[in-house]
Structure 1
Amino acid sequence: MPDALFAHPRLAPIYDAFDGDRDDLTAYLGIADELGAESVLDVGCGTGSLAILLARGGRTVVAVDPAEASLDVAKSKDTAQAVTWVHGDATTMSMPSADLATMTGNVAQVFLTDHNWARALRGVHAILGPHGNLVFETRRPERRAWEEWAADAAPHTLDIPGIGSVERSCEVTHVNLPFVSFRYSYRFMADGAVITSDSTLRFRDRAEVELSLAVQGYRILDVREAPDRPGHELVFIAERTT
């Protein structure tokens, strides 16, 4: 079940406003160019920011997400209708083979159990063509990002066109490593409505991620720093080998 942040019809349309400029996506465009990817599967595409950028470069893009409200936002932004949007996930969909699959943001960390993470990797593996690539990022556990979240808990208010002022606050609700839970609360000033969204992420260390990839038939080509967040995240580039 997707978090309300992505699935609620009042929260999905304001996601981009609070998410800010997606400087992190430039690196993914560069990697797609580097790998010569002409067809891309964007797993957990959310509101479609990366998928639309990839399609503008002339690539064939399929974007999948389990949150229908986020897909509605993505479709409204895709004025050229250049992306194929799919409601679901990589374990249930079928499509022609892709050169590249991507998971940006926290997507790789929402798979809390080893079983679900393995299923996601297998699902992507089945869609990738021979020597196709999977690229994703994950937060370094040793950076203890949740401590920064807890220290920066002051409410933040934005005036969003067509919606009005919205106040967002974040609270870290539970830390039991490798799991970290947190809650976003949104107050809509126009009518006073308060909507909350609870999330949990799993923080896997580098060795754990590398082993999971090897078991599911991937070879790691490179592990890089996220250029917009050096020292905070790792970007894995893996190749399908079997």
Structure 2
Amino acid sequence: MADEIFENPRLADIYDPFDSDRSDLDAYESMINEFSAISVLDIGCGTGTFACRLAARGIEVFGMDPAEASLKVAKTKHWSDRVKWIHGNAIDLPKLKVDLVTMTANVAQVFLTDEEWKETLLAIRDVLRSGGRLVFETRKPESQAWLKWNRENTYKRIDIPDSGVVEGRVDVTDVQGSLVSFRWTYVFESDGAIITSDSTLRFRSLKEISKSLWDVGLSVEGVREAPDRPGLEYVIIAHRLTA
């Protein structure tokens, strides 16, 4: 079940305006060239920004997300007709083979249990061609990014076409070990509606991640910095070991 921020149609409609700077995707797009990938599966594609960017370049793209409302927004975008959209989770993937699997933004951290994470990695391994790669990012636990998840640092007030003026912010609600929970709050000035969305992310160490990949037949090929968040995130590149 997707979080309300992705599943609620009213929130899905304002997701892009509140996250308009997608320079984080530039590094992923450059890796398409670096690895000569001609087919890509974007897991947790959300409103489809990255998938549509790749489709515009002639890449064969599969965009997967469990949130139907987000996919509905994705399908309105230019080049969306060239993306093969899949409603569901990685464990529900149909039979296909790709050169590259991506999980941008916080997608890799939404899998909270070891079992759920392992099932997802196994599903990814199975759709990768021999030598294919998985690329994803994850926040460094030691950077404690959640310390800045508060009104002071996250508040925005935006005038959005068809939605009017909307206020948004995020607040941490709980920290338990590697699990950090937080709440998005949106206020629609047009009718006074207040809609909240609760989320939890798991902050895994690089050692944990590397072992979990190896256990399912994926080997860490490289670890890079996220250009848009230097010092705060790992961008991990793993490849499939066997055919």
TM-score between the two structures when normalised by the length of structure 2: 0.97
Quote the residue 2:43 is aligned against. 43
Q: 1:150 Cα deviation (Å)?
A: 3.0
Quote the residue 2:18 is aligned against. 18
Q: Give the conservation status (yes or no) of the 8 Å contact 2:52–2:79.
A: no
The one-letter code sitting in structure 2 at the alignment partner of 1:97 is: K
CA–CA separation in structure 2 for the residues paired with 1:100 and 1:133: 5
**Aligned CA distance change for structure 1 residues 154 and 92 (closer, same or farther; 3 Å):** closer
Alignment of 1:168-187 (within 5 A): 168-187=168-187
**Aligned CA distance change for structure 1 residues 153 and 26 (closer, same or farther; 3 Å):** closer
Q: Give the conservation status (yes or no) of the 8 Å contact 2:226–2:234.
A: yes
Count residues in correspondence: 242
Q: 1:129 Cα deviation (Å)?
A: 0.8
Q: 1:121 Cα deviation (Å)?
A: 0.3
CA–CA separation in structure 1 for the residues paired with 2:79 and 2:26: 21
Quote the residue 1:32 is aligned against. 32
Q: 1:132 aligns to what SS in structure 2? A: strand
Quote the residue 2:163 is aligned against. 163
**Aligned CA distance change for structure 1 residues 169 and 238 (closer, same or farther; 3 Å):** same
Q: 1:54 Cα deviation (Å)?
A: 1.1
CA–CA separation in structure 2 for the residues paired with 1:224 and 1:218: 17
Alignment of 1:1-242 (within 5 A): 1-79=1-79, 81-150=81-150, 152=152, 155-242=155-242
State the Cα RMSD in Å: 1.1
Q: 1:57 Cα deviation (Å)?
A: 1.4
CA–CA separation in structure 1 for the residues paired with 2:154 and 2:109: 25
Q: 1:237 Cα deviation (Å)?
A: 0.5
| Offset from partner CA, 1:157-195 (integer Å, 9 cap, x none) | 100011100011211100112000000111111011111
**Aligned CA distance change for structure 1 residues 54 and 95 (closer, same or farther; 3 Å):** farther
The one-letter code sitting in structure 2 at the alignment partner of 1:94 is: P
Q: Give the conservation status (yes or no) of the 8 Å contact 2:135–2:238.
A: yes
Q: 1:89 Cα deviation (Å)?
A: 1.4
Q: 1:220 Cα deviation (Å)?
A: 1.1
CA–CA separation in structure 2 for the residues paired with 1:30 and 1:230: 17
CA–CA separation in structure 1 for the residues paired with 2:143 and 2:63: 30
Aligned residues: percent identity?
52
Q: Give the conservation status (yes or no) of the 8 Å contact 2:74–2:80.
A: no
Contiguous gaps of at least 5 residues in structure 1 = none
Q: Give the conservation status (yes or no) of the 8 Å contact 1:153–1:171.
A: no
